[in-house]
Amino acid sequence: MNPIQVGLLGIGTVGSGTFQVLRRNQEEIKRRAGRGIEITMVADLDTARAQAVVGEGVQVVADARAVIANPEIDIVVELIGGYGIAKQLVLEAIAAGKHVVTANKALLAVHGTEIFAAAHAKGVMVAFEAAVAGGIPIIKALREGLTANSIQWIAGIINGTTNFILSEMRDKGLDFDTVLKEAQRLGYAEADPTFDIEGVDAAHKVTLMSAIAFGIPVQFDRAHIEGITKLAAQDIKYAEQLGYRIKLLGVTKRVAKGIELRVHPSLVPSKRLLANVEGAMNAVVVNGDAVGTTLYYGKGAGSEPTASAVIADLVDITRLHTADAAHRVPHLAFHPDAMSDLKVLPMAEVVTSYYLRLRVADEAGVLAKVTGLLAGAGISIDAVLQREADEVGGEGSTQTDLIILTHDTREGTLDDALAQLQALPTVLAPIVRIRKEELS
């Protein structure tokens, strides 16, 4: 049988990895897919660089639409990124009856409903294993491996850039900007790195996992998003003293009232595997009612790890494209007419525990006032740590830090209590609040 023909749109970090791995492992991949898979046409704005990557024998063009228009191409791989031209190209490829593979989590998290509906109507596949956690086959695990389960929650380190930044800052004492530049040099960061550091990229990924896990539409606009740019070094230090590490987590949970969908820095107990995931590595913990807790760990970014996931999708499509569309695995795991209308909850309804840091006047009665106010709001305290004033503000300091860990609390209740605490004259700076996930 002739090889299946693939057209690549964009041959940057992930595209070049995809080309190289496919070529290097072509024989083994063919034995698995039952048919050869060949990239025969590539579109990139930088045609000279693209031609240098693929060599002679592969047609390189600047116009991505020429790839879509080529009747020989069976599968279009979109590796350009972003919501602009990439969206148009993916929709045009679907309209032309091509199967699509993409690593573009931003596109699917924001426009997934439209794209999956178009693919369903046309009977083509849109595969996106590389869009979440790079080389880790988490989409396959959620959509197929765990299909027996009622998924209860997912929590993951799903942005390599921010995990790399947090690890390097803690271990090597490097500053934020230096480490971010290194993450960009290594090809981990998005074209716009604010997507990484402000938690947007992780929110794209957890939105996709949430849809697959709970059978709800992709709802990026309902996700709560906080990044790592406001994290202070002393909170990382205090967290360590209390037996925790701070990680940027994507969390989605099924609770009585609906679905939690959130990205924010979180304290994770140091003894948990997730707390020990370092550098650009990713890890996703999934809890299902039948299987219990499972963990998926691996490289979440970079050229060949991400290519590994792109090629897995190419093999899946090669195996399945002749099957009746109704017998393929649904894009979002659940059949489109069997989606759930569970609501994504506002943050005020989220229940979790918290780390609070209050910069207070170092005088008698302050601790009692603060804990009394929390108790009055029904917020139960798990631990309190008070630093020596000298340690916090230098010798003779009249200020100190009060660190409080709470038990589970409704976020809306905590917000009200924090507003009252902030108004106390003895509270001298904005209160720091970081959520805490026990992951058990």
Ligand X SMILES: N[C@@H](CC=O)C(=O)O
Ligand Y SMILES: NC(=O)C1=CN([C@@H]2O[C@H](COP(=O)(O)OP(=O)(O)OC[C@H]3O[C@@H](n4cnc5c(N)ncnc54)[C@H](O)[C@@H]3O)[C@@H](O)[C@H]2O)C=CC1
By CB under 6 A, which span of 38-46, 360-368, 375-383, 398-406 interacts with ligand Y? Answer: 38-46
Residues 12, 112, 160, 215: which binds ligand X (CB under 6 A)?
160
Non-local CB neighbours of 195 within 8 Å, separated by 6+ positions: 106, 201, 204
Binding string, residues 68-87; x marks residues near ligand Y by CB under 6 A: -----------xxx---x--
Minimum distance of ligand Y from residue 106's CB (angstroms): 6
188 binds ligand X per the rule CB under 6 A: yes
Closest CB 283 distance from ligand X, rounded Å: 12
Residue 159 contact partner, candidates ligand X, ligand Y, none, CB within 5 to 8 A by sort of partner: ligand X
Q: Which amino acid is at 100?
A: V
Q: Is 205 a catalytic residue?
A: yes
Residue 161, binding choice from ligand X, ligand Y, none, Cβ under 5 to 8 Å by partner class: ligand X
Q: Specify the residue, 9 or 358, whose C-beta has the smaller distance to ligand X.
A: 9
Which 133-192 positions form the footprint of ligand Y (CB under 6 A)? 134, 187-188, 190-191
With CB under 5 to 8 Å by kind, the binding choice for 187 among ligand Y, ligand X, none is ligand Y
Q: Is 298 in the site for ligand Y (CB under 6 A)?
A: no
CB of 49 to ligand Y, least distance (A): 7
**Which residue among the candidates 87, 98, 105, 205 is catalytic per the annotation?**
205
Residue 61 makes contact with ligand Y by CB under 6 A: no
Q: Which does 191 bind (CB under 5 to 8 A by kind): ligand Y, ligand X, none?
A: ligand Y
The count of chain residues that interact with ligand Y, using the rule CB under 6 A, is 27
196 binds ligand X (CB under 6 A): yes
Asked if residue 301 binds ligand Y (CB under 6 A), the reply is: yes
Asked if residue 15 binds ligand Y (CB under 6 A), the reply is: yes
- Number of residues interacting with ligand X: please give it, by CB under 6 A: 11
* Positions in the binding site for ligand Y (CB under 6 A): 9-15, 43-46, 64, 79-81, 85, 103-104, 130, 134, 187-188, 190-191, 301-302, 306
* Positions in the binding site for ligand X (CB under 6 A): 134, 159-161, 188-190, 196, 201, 300-301
Catalytic positions, please?
Answer: 205
